[in-house]
Structure 1
Amino acid sequence: MQAKPQDSHARWWPSSVTADSPASWNEPSQLEAYKMTSRPRGVCLILNNHNFAKAREAVLEQKNLKDRTGTDVDAAALTRVFSKLHFIIKEYRDLTAEQIRETVNIYRCKDHKDKDCFVCCILSHGKKGIIYGVDGQEVPIQELTTSFTGQNCHSLAGKPKVFFVQACQGEACQKGVTIETDAGEQDSSVETDARFQLDCIPAEADFLLGMATLQDYVSYRSPRQGTWYIQALCQHLEYSCPRGEDILTILTAVNQEVSRKSCNQNAEKQMPQPSFTLRKKLIFSVN
């Protein structure tokens, strides 16, 4: 007798309820969106470090950190886009490590109860889970993000906290020609932003951390055109937000665009990486 073919659905939908499954299954509901109607929406804090002369003057491991030429192009793009999205722009340039901490603490202590969101854009050199102040001193990125948890910033509890970090996460290059790194100069048209590492997002809900590149890899910056990541991010925000697209869809498009870029004939590559604990759709409405 020929065996009866097994129902393929039975392999995926068990008839009995197991210990780690709900007692009953409901139809999935439409994903709710975060409230994004306040005017202004909130603060967009830009920490823009360009001049690292203090670090080079110090007798430190980081004394050879180069100036981040092109970072002002990124800061201008972020200012333009987030102003259109109804955020208050607060840019701080060339901060030491202690000044970074002090600045973040100022906005941690502010009352955000009438705002819907908080955005922080960090443009600096970094290495292994830290960013550098212009004095070459280290600030753990997790220290900055954790400052805005519900426990540490009550008025942002339940609201999206968004961080965009332009910095490398390692020393490895994603296959291609040798270009300028922090150790030498082979191609002055593109540079890297030191070294950086992920695992910096708080375990608490409502955070989004947009990283310029994958862990262990470098990211690239043009002295004339800004960084691949921030420029693509701003272009896609400007194009897609008026169309009502959510931030994760936009960041996927950013991933696609940046991953297609390359340097010279051997095609050095870069792959951004978002990490998030968002519970709802995050849509930056322009209305």
Structure 2
Amino acid sequence: MELMEGSEERNRAVVMSVAKFNHGVPLGKRPGANRDAKSLHRSLSKLGFKVDLHSDLSSEEIYQLFSEESKRPVKDCFLAVLSSHGEEGCVFGADGEPVWLSRIFTYFDNACMEKKTKLFLIQACRGEALDDGVEVDSCQQPPDGNFSHYFSIPVDTAVMFATAPGYGAFMNFCGSIFLQTFCSLLEEEGYSGLELTRLMTRLCHRVAYTFEAKGRQYDGKKEMPCLLTRLTRDVFPFADMGKDSNAARISATSLIASGNVRTRIASLS
């Protein structure tokens, strides 16, 4: 995983996905997780990211992975993807044990990651409620204390959840609507050069308005991603420096002046 000798520091992405849980763990397989990982590797590599993929790690292995990654050098932006079954505040390792997001976030509050853009994409359920397309404010309030991970998010960090608090996130054998849409936007003309919060807004819009689950259990259900940010500047982590002359003058941490509905047979992430 080390950078080649003589190479420049690069933006880095670490994709951790659990597709298959250990024997005896009462959590279903996630057949689309591997397809998501491949799509992320393709899309991010094209944009100059060094992408490392990790599959079916235990909870302790996930903690160890991100503890080590938080101490490695990065050019401007570090992107982490955690894809598994989950509940509010955690995702599950392949051993079925919870991985608390608050602990992962605190690893990146260090000198090595200071002034670097940190982006976390969380593909996991945050509860059992299903979205009928009503306002997010109508969701059931999670139990007290389940928002503790919000307060552990470091400065210059954005966290994008696949779904709102209390709700389920969808995935099938083709992958998750959240991560597949993210990859599609990065590969479409004009989107990778957007400022990060604008790109995430377009991701929210596309998932919310162009996806609708189908199938006997989930027919008509929707999904609404949720963005949390402690960014202190406009950032452009996916700008293609070779194509956009304006992008060539800014880094991922630069401060600058001021269809049709798709349906899928889905299962919960």
TM-score, normalised by the number of residues in structure 2: 0.75
Shift in alpha-carbon separation, 1:104–1:243, aligned structure 2, 3 A = closer
- Larger Cα Rg: Structure 1 or Structure 2? 1
Question: Is residue 285 from structure 1 mapped to residue 239 from structure 2 by the alignment?
Answer: yes
Q: Deviation per CA, 1:73-116: give whole Å up to 9, x if none.
A: 1101111111112111111111001111111121122234xx11
Q: Secondary structure at the match of 2:73?
A: coil
Q: Secondary structure at the match of 2:163?
A: coil
Question: Is residue 87 from structure 1 mapped to residue 37 from structure 2 by the alignment?
Answer: no
Q: Deviation per CA, 1:166-217: give whole Å up to 9, x if none.
A: 00111100128xxxxxxxxxxxxxxxxxxxx665343531000010000101
- Structure 1 counterpart of 2:35, from 53, 67, 73: 73
Q: Secondary structure at the match of 2:81?
A: strand
% same residue: 27
Q: Which residue identity lines up with residue 130 of structure 1 in the other structure?
A: C
Q: Deviation per CA, 1:17-52: give whole Å up to 9, x if none.
A: xxxxxxxxxxxxxxxxxxxxx955322001011111
2-structure distance, mates of 1:242, 1:167: 24
2-structure distance, mates of 1:198, 1:165: 15
Question: Is residue 43 from structure 1 mapped to residue 12 from structure 2 by the alignment?
Answer: yes
Equivalent pair of 2:105/2:154 in contact (CA under 8 Å): no
Shift in alpha-carbon separation, 1:82–1:243, aligned structure 2, 3 A = closer
Q: Secondary structure at the match of 1:214?
A: coil
Equivalent pair of 1:53/1:67 in contact (CA under 8 Å): no
1-structure distance, mates of 2:60, 2:178: 27
Q: Deviation per CA, 1:105-153: give whole Å up to 9, x if none.
A: 21122234xx11111011111113111110111110111111101xxx3
For residues 22-37 of structure 1, what are the structure 2 equivalents within 5 Å?
none
Shift of 1:156: 1.2
Aligned to 1:32: none
Aligned to 2:253: none
Unpaired runs of at least 5, structure 2: 1-6, 134-145, 242-269
Runs of 4 or more above 3 Å deviation: 38-41, 240-243
Aligned to 2:157: 207
2-structure distance, mates of 1:243, 1:220: 24
Equivalent pair of 2:125/2:167 in contact (CA under 8 Å): yes
2-structure distance, mates of 1:163, 1:262: 24
Shift of 1:251: 1.2
Aligned to 2:251: none
Q: Secondary structure at the match of 2:112?
A: helix
Aligned to 1:11: none
Question: Is residue 249 from structure 1 mapped to residue 198 from structure 2 by the alignment?
Answer: yes
1-structure distance, mates of 2:121, 2:27: 21
Shift of 1:236: 1.0
Q: Which residue identity lines up with residue 248 of structure 1 in the other structure?
A: T
TM-score, normalised by the number of residues in structure 1: 0.71
Unpaired runs of at least 5, structure 1: 1-37, 58-62, 177-196
- Structure 2 counterpart of 1:103, from 51, 56, 65: 65
